[in-house]
């Protein structure tokens, strides 16, 4: 099954390199739904995998000048300890529910994915504040407090479910701070890399990491993030985010365990992607030049 893990890693690495999101939001449901991995192990393996490959992406974005390291550091003050609390709660659920933890963690993860979908859709239509002020941006005390609070809440979600390092942090950075989108992507990946090392260590100690799966995922994700980091925001990432939000809804429906969840998830996926494609096609047609007929030639 090694090539399936490698292909999944390549897909996720490419998305993260371009947009800064899609790591935990996409990889964990892939491991659970497609590969049948226990949700607790899927979360831990995804976080451990993300720590390594996002470090590679962070180095790339740092070289391109897309990282606000001080801002990432203040977020880490809140997110690192809370991610460990999330890891503890994940293990408590496993110890408390025993054989039923798979369905319990699946429902928790499904709810987080649906929440993440809302964040992705919002992120697709929110524009960064005053990009012109980006180069002169200096952290104030208000910015430091906001960064710690963002890390506080986001870190807990990441530790518990592995979802949110790109969706939650990227969205809040875009709204709260006057940064260009490229700086949001780079700072988000830089912070996520540091955070996931902390949460990944917690899951490794708890025995929630499948090292075999992590190794093959990295074979695909590292080339993916290296190849696409330079394309940051050169491609229309709104379309990518909308497509990913459809995948998140379908995955969330499947994991929550609604009646006829398989049929419902497939229906959501097909109808949602068709709607996004139709909207994109309509937009392209609306912006295409009209054909002018010369009456003298008719």
Residue 123: CB atoms within 10 A of its CB come to 26
Task: Specify the pLDDT at position 145.
Answer: 94
Position 79 scores a pLDDT of 92
Residue 236 φ/ψ, nearest 5 degrees: -70, 95
* pLDDT at residue 38, rounded to an integer: 85
Q: Please give the model's pTM, rounded to 2 decimal places.
A: 0.71
d(C-alpha 89, C-alpha 74), whole Å: 24
DSSP code, position 234: T
- Write down the pLDDT at residue 81: 92
Q: How many whole angstroms separate alpha carbon 45 and alpha carbon 131?
A: 37
- pLDDT at position 234: 57
Rounded to the nearest 10 degrees, what angle do helices 39-63 and 69-97 cross at?
170
| Residue 267: per-residue pLDDT | 80
φ, ψ for residue 37, nearest 5 deg? -80, 140
What the block records as the tokens of 127 is 């524009």
Domain ranges of the chain: 2-233
**What distances in angstroms separate CA 62 from CA 3, 100, 284, 296, one per listed residue?**
30, 43, 34, 60
Looking up tokens 């928790």 gives: 108
Per-residue pLDDT of the chain (298 residues; tens, 9 = 90+): 678 889 888 888 887 776 666 566 678 778 888 888 888 888 889 889 988 988 988 898 888 888 898 999 999 999 999 988 988 887 787 777 765 655 666 677 677 777 777 776 776 666 655 555 556 667 889 999 999 999 998 888 778 776 666 667 877 887 788 777 778 878 888 998 898 898 888 889 888 899 999 999 999 988 888 887 766 555 565 666 677 677 777 777 777 767 776 677 778 777 887 887 787 778 777 766 654 555 554 4
DSSP state of 20: S
Q: How far apart are CA 171 and CA 126, in angstroms?
A: 8
> Which residues, 6 or more positions from 75, have their beta carbon under 8 angstroms from its beta carbon?
147, 148, 150, 151, 154, 169, 191
Q: Other CB atoms closer than 10 Å to residue 84's CB: what's the count?
A: 18
């Amino acid at each position: 099954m090694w090539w399936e893990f490698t292909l999944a890693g390549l897909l996720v690495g490419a998305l993260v390199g371009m947009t800064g999101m899609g790591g935990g939001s996409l990889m964990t449901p892939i491991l659970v739904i497609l590969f049948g991995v226990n949700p607790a192990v899927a979360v831990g393996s995804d976080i451990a995998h993300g720590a390594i490959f996002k470090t590679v992406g962070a180095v790339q974005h740092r070289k391109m000048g897309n990282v606000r390291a001080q801002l990432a550091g203040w977020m880490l003050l809140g997110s690192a300890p809370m991610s460990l609390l999330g890891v503890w709660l994940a293990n408590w659920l496993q110890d408390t529910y025993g054989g039923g933890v798979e369905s319990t963690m699946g429902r928790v993860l499904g709810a987080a994915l649906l929440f993440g979908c809302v964040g992705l859709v919002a992120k697709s239509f929110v524009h960064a504040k005053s990009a012109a002020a980006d180069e002169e941006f200096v952290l104030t005390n208000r910015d430091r407090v906001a960064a710690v609070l963002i890390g506080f809440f986001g870190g807990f979600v990441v530790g518990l479910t592995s979802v949110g390092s790109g969706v939650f942090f990227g969205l809040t950075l875009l709204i709260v701070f006057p940064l260009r989108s490229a700086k949001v992507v780079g700072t988000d990946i830089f912070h996520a890399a540091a955070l996931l090392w902390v949460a990944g260590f917690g899951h490794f100690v708890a025995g929630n990491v499948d090292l075999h799966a992590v190794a093959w995922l990295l074979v695909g994700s590292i080339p993916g993030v290296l190849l696409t980091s330079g394309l940051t925001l050169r491609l229309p990432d709104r379309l990518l985010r909308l497509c990913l939000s459809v995948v998140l809804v379908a995955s969330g429906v499947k994991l929550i365990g609604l009646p006829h969840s398989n049929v419902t998830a497939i229906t959501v996926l097909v109808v949602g992607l068709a709607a996004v494609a139709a909207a994109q096609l309509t937009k392209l047609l609306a912006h295409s030049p009209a054909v002018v007929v010369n009456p003298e030639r008719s």
